[in-house]
Amino acid sequence: MNLRSYQVDLVDRVKAALASGVRSVVMQAGTGSGKTAMAAQLLARATERGYRSLFLAHLDSLIEDTHERLTRAGVPAGFVQAGRPSSPDAPVQVASIATLHARGETPPADFVILDECQRAQGPTVRALLERYPAASHLGLTATPQRGDGKPLGDVFDVLICGPSNRWLTAEGYLVPCDLVAPSAVSTKSLAMDPVQAYLRYAPGTRGLVFAANVAHAEDIAAKARAEGIAVEVILGETSRTVRAGVRARLRDGTTTMLVGVGVFIEGWDEPSIETIVLARAFVFTGSFLQAIGRGLRPWPGKARCRVLDLRGAVYLHGLPDEDRVWSITGAAVRRAEPGLPLRRCRECLAVFRPTVTCPRCGARHEVLAQVPRVLSRAERLASVSSLPQWQRDRHYLGALIQRALRIGMKGDRAQWWAIDKFRRRFGRDPEQKGAA
């Protein structure tokens, strides 16, 4: 079972913490960093040492993936889940939280791993963990922040963090993302219709839409179908057989858009997703990052992920690849650079760190080195041009054409783009020499 260098380091730090006598550890690593692979390595190690282990998850995809990895590594593993064959004597049991709770079973375990451990505060999960007071506990998560925004220090003793999303992106383990957003946080409505935003910024890509509720999801799907988009809706009660079919259709291109309500935040590890549409509010940083993380895994032909943030959540939480400080006490998460300003492209509405060139469309933006001095009334009057209107219009239009040329437009396209920009700003056509 081969691991990447950073995964080996993270696994070694977890083993050292548990060996030192710490009873419960949270292992934080970004979405797409390979937490399931690291968990499988730790379970294999525990089996070699003669321990019995329990892997707890609430999603079918996580249960299947972990069991498959253990089987490939030669570690005997059984299922505790309705509809799956059981192997109660296997040293590792991969268990559905819902099934284990419903049956009231307590498989013997010296080592318990809880996936998506930000859910640890829930009464069902908490009760399951309390059945194993003598076992070592390990929680896995990309975002150690509970659904109410609070930290996990009342359940776990130590937090061990992996590399940041910025580092994972720079090393090629995640793809970079372009984020388009309104000019400010929208608290009451979406800045744009989700389907129209998809058609404008990411047409034809495999998209994942986060809807506010079931009615909203169905409405988005109906609008998508009216536009000829192959769309499907996934809800909490959608069976694993249907979900498997959806994945297959998404990969082969039969389906291009999925719309869901609360089902993609965790455990939807489909790397072919190219576009994330945030069509609901995201109050907490953890869920914001989890949602965007669904589109960051590499996939053949996928150079970047597009994020359409229709409520402006980026202004609350920062860019997805910002460095963050996680904690299981006090504030669960804070930005490492809280004063980092954001720039919004005038041309494509992308939000990014202040640079001269927009990373999405290439448009150039001047970055002021200092706050401009406020002019006196006399200075403002002296700066008023005495040129006739047609000459001022021609100068401004020429500047627009030069901007179009700098971002790669040529010939008539640059000319028409500049005229359109002029009309949008002034509500009229440029005045011509000799016009009455």
Over residues 378-429, the pLDDT tens digits come to: 444 444 455 677 777 787 888 888 888 888 787 778 888 888 887 877 777 8
At 205 the pLDDT is 96
Give the chain's mean pLDDT: 87
Q: What average pLDDT does this structure show over 341-369?
A: 83
Helix H or strand E encompassing 215: helix 214-226
- What is the dihedral sign for C-alpha 151, 260, 54, 70? negative
Distance from C-alpha of 290 to C-alpha of 179, rounded to nearest angstrom: 15
At 67 the pLDDT is 85
| Rg of the Cα atoms in the chain | 26
Cβ-proximal residues to 316 (8 Å cutoff; 6+ apart), any chain: 185, 282, 283, 285, 288
The rounded Cα 130 to chain-centroid distance in angstroms is 32
User: Band of the pLDDT at 371, cuts 50, 70, 90?
Assistant: very low
Inform me whether the pLDDT recorded for 123 exceeds 60: yes
Distance from C-alpha of 435 to C-alpha of 127, rounded to nearest angstrom: 82
Question: Under a CB-based contact definition with an 8 Å cutoff, are residues 240 and 233 in contact?
Answer: no
pLDDT digits (tens, 9 = 90+) for 294-341: 999 999 999 999 999 999 999 999 999 999 999 999 889 998 877 778
Distance from C-alpha of 329 to C-alpha of 156, rounded to nearest angstrom: 10
Q: Count of H helices and E strands in the chain?
A: 14, 17
Q: What average pLDDT does this structure show over 79-87?
A: 84
Burial 407-426 (b: 16+ CB within 10 A, else e): bebeeeebeebbeebbeeee
At 70 the pLDDT is 86
Distances (CA, A) of 272 to 63, 175, 285: 20, 12, 24
Question: 377 versus 192: which is more confidently predicted?
Answer: 192
